Amino acid sequence: MERGEQGKQLAVEGEGKRDGDRKKQIDGRDATGGGIYNIITRITNNSLNITRLKRLNITRPNSLNITRPNSLNITRSNSLNITRSNSLNITRLNSLNIRRPNRFNITRLNSLNITRPNILNITRLNSLNIPWLNSLNIPRLNSLNNIRRPNRFNITRLNSLNITRPNILNITRLNSLNIRRPNRFNITRLNSLNITRPNILNITRLNSLNIPRLNSLNIPRLNSLNIRRPNRFNITRLNSLNITRPNILNITRLNSLNITRSNSLNITRLKCLNITRPNSLNITRSNSLNSLNITRPNSLNITRPNSLDITRSNSLNITRLNSLNITRPNSLNITRSNSLNSLNITRPNSLNITKSNSLNITRLNILNITRPKSLNITRLNILNITRLNILNITKPNSLNITRPNNLNITRLNILNIPRLNSLNITRSNSLNITRPNSLNITRSNILNITRLNSLNITRPNSLNITRSNSLNITRSNSLNITRLKSLNITRPNSLNITRPNNLNITRLNILNIPRLNSLNITRSNSLNITRPNSLNITRSNILNITRLNILDITRSNSLNITRPNSLNITRSNILNITRLNILDITRSNILDITRSNSLNITRSNILNITRLNILNIPRLNNLNNPRLNSLNIPRLNHLNITRSNSLNITRTITWEYQSSFFNKTT
């Protein structure tokens, strides 16, 4: 049979006109007519089965889309290869089963998407390789199942699993990831699991994740690794666990995190490590733990844990930290430190321990805190440092210990606190600072508050302005900062707020503006930032907001603008960002939004714009993105939207099914 004739026949079959329920059986000749394999292929509207296949190769397709099949099964094949394809999409399928192939290879793929499958099974593979992948997405998955037991995800008896150089790997909203027991994710008896050079790796809303009896687990050169809301995360009997050169590592809302019986655990060259709201974090039986090292992170944050315990460790080193924050823990214990030779915290920019019920450091040989820029311990119920041979706190800019119930330092050989600086606020008409937990302004060249009608800072937990070349607030009618948990402005070259009618920052959990070259807000009628959980603007060369009528950022969980060269929002009538879970604009060279009548981003779960060279949206009448689950624009060289009347992205679903034989778009 010729290729064109077979293509026409399959196309007629795929259209499924009046006899769509009719089944068509193909005799198994390959597409080139070169030979006959032992193939049984059935193509119907309900199922597509490929069984007992020696080789199935799909090479250099631009796009391969499989949409809305009830079942897709690939069983007992010697090799399945999909190479050099731009995109592979499997959407809305009831079941996808890959059983007993010797090799499954997907190479040089731009995007692989598996969306809304009911069942996905990968069983008894010799090797599964997905290299050179730009994005791999598995969202809204009901179950990743075994053959016999439903609601399970199984990767069993696998010699090697390699996922290399993906830009994005997301596993979100999984009901269950199981082998034997439900509500667990298990990767067992795996010789090696390597995830190399991904930009983003997210594991969210897992009931449990277990990796036992693993020879090596390596995650190198990772931009961000997020583990959010799992009930359990266990790593047991691990020879080596290495996480190297990640930009961000976040572990949030854990019920329990246990690292037991490991020879070595190393987290190196980390820009930021966050452990937030775990019920328990335990590093136990650390006589077998040779070393635990956290080196060169920019920030290490441990917030709201119920208990944090580090017991029987030979050495614990935290070196070259920009910031270390431990906030609202119920208990923090470093115990039996006769076996703990040394605990070193060196060169942090800031070390904060706030609102902890108890903080205990007992039987410690050496505790060194050297060259911190700021060290704050606030609202402690109990702080005990007992049986300490040496405690050194050297060269801090500011050290504050405020409102602790009990502070005991007993049996101490040496305690040194040298070289503290000063704070001055002069010539304001009315300046009220009421009930702050901590207010620190350190190493500022010029801090001027001039010709101010009213400036109120009420009930903030912490307000820090550090190492600013110039900070000017001039000719403002009213500037109110109320109910602020923390506001940090660090290392700005110039921050100017001139002639605003109203500037209100209310009910803000965290607002951080570090390493800012210049921030200008000029001639704005009103600027309101209300009820965001966190707003971060970091390492931006220029941030200008000029001639703005209304700018509202309300009820956002986190809004981060990091390392942009220039971000300009000019002459916009209305700019509203409301109810935003995460908005990240990171490492953009230029982002310009000019002369827009209205720009609305409402109720979006995730909006990420990362590593953007140029994004220009000039002369835009309307741009609306309502109810957006995820929008990711990574590594974008140019995106220009010019002179468009309206651009609306609302609940858009596009399905494409095309290959060399099929062309079908719904």
Give the mean model confidence (pLDDT) for residues 60-86: 65
The Cα 438–Cα 429 span in angstroms is 23
The enclosing H or E element of 4 equals: helix 3-15
pLDDT score for 419: 55
Of 159, 188, 211, at which residue does a domain stop? Answer: 159
The percentage of residues in the chain with a pLDDT greater than 70, rounded to a whole number, is 0
The total number of structural domains in the chain stands at: 3
Same domain (yes/no): 535, 612? yes
The answer to whether 120 and 98 are in contact (CB under 8 A) is: no
Give the mean model confidence (pLDDT) for residues 491-507: 66
pTM: 0.40
Give the mean model confidence (pLDDT) for residues 140-151: 38
Give the mean model confidence (pLDDT) for residues 408-418: 57
Q: How many CA atoms lie within 13 A of 61 on its CB side?
A: 19
pLDDT score for 548: 63
The answer to whether 635 and 167 are in contact (CB under 8 A) is: yes
Check residues 300 and 621 and name the one with the higher pLDDT: 300
Same domain (yes/no): 535, 469? yes
Confidence of residue 373 (pLDDT cuts 50, 70, 90): confident
Whether residue 611 is contained in a domain is answered as: yes
pLDDT score for 658: 26
The answer to whether 463 and 425 are in contact (CB under 8 A) is: no
The Cα 87–Cα 655 span in angstroms is 13
Range of the domain at 594: 431-648
Same domain (yes/no): 457, 503? yes
Whether residue 284 is contained in a domain is answered as: no
Check residues 285 and 606 and name the one with the higher pLDDT: 606
Whether residue 326 is contained in a domain is answered as: no
pLDDT score for 193: 59
Taking Cα atoms as reference points, which of 118, 92, 48 lies closest to residue 666? 92
Same domain (yes/no): 504, 557? yes
Lowest mean pLDDT among 193-202, 281-290, 516-525: 281-290
The enclosing H or E element of 13 equals: helix 3-15
Same domain (yes/no): 551, 502? yes
Same domain (yes/no): 514, 608? yes
Lowest mean pLDDT among 1-5, 28-32, 363-367, 633-637: 28-32
Lowest mean pLDDT among 7-21, 80-94, 212-226, 647-661: 647-661
Of 108, 136, 159, at which residue does a domain stop? Answer: 159
Same domain (yes/no): 559, 482? yes
Check residues 36 and 621 and name the one with the higher pLDDT: 621
pLDDT score for 610: 54
Same domain (yes/no): 446, 587? yes
Same domain (yes/no): 31, 135? no
Same domain (yes/no): 1, 146? no
Whether residue 483 is contained in a domain is answered as: yes
Lowest mean pLDDT among 18-22, 328-332, 360-364: 18-22
Assess whether pLDDT exceeds 50 at residue 211: yes
Assess whether pLDDT exceeds 60 at residue 6: no
Assess whether pLDDT exceeds 50 at residue 151: no
Same domain (yes/no): 6, 134? no
Lowest mean pLDDT among 16-20, 85-89, 279-283: 16-20
Q: What secondary structure does DSSP assign to 219-250, as a single string?
A: EES-SEEEEES-SEEEEES-SEEEEES-SEEE
Of 159, 193, 227, at which residue does a domain stop? Answer: 159
Phi, psi of 655, rounded to the nearest 5 degrees: -120, 135
Confidence of residue 154 (pLDDT cuts 50, 70, 90): very low
Check residues 489 and 649 and name the one with the higher pLDDT: 489
Which residues neighbour 633 within 8 Å (Cβ) at sequence distance 6 or greater?
Answer: 608, 609, 610, 612, 615, 639
What tens digit of pLDDT does each residue of 285-321 get?
Answer: 443 344 556 666 666 666 666 666 666 565 666 666 6
Whether residue 251 is contained in a domain is answered as: no
Give the mean model confidence (pLDDT) for residues 472-498: 65
Same domain (yes/no): 480, 620? yes
The Cα 233–Cα 236 span in angstroms is 10
Task: Give Dmax over CA atoms of the chain in angstroms.
Answer: 92
Whether residue 246 is contained in a domain is answered as: no
Whether residue 531 is contained in a domain is answered as: yes
Arithmetic mean of pLDDT over the chain? 57
Assess whether pLDDT exceeds 50 at residue 638: no
Whether residue 452 is contained in a domain is answered as: yes
The answer to whether 550 and 575 are in contact (CB under 8 A) is: yes
Assess whether pLDDT exceeds 50 at residue 14: no
pLDDT score for 70: 64
| Whole-number Cα distances in Å, 629 to 104, 200, 536, 581, 602 | 31, 17, 22, 10, 11
Give the mean model confidence (pLDDT) for residues 13-32: 35
What tens digit of pLDDT does each residue of 529-558 get?
Answer: 666 666 666 666 666 666 666 666 666 666
pLDDT score for 498: 66
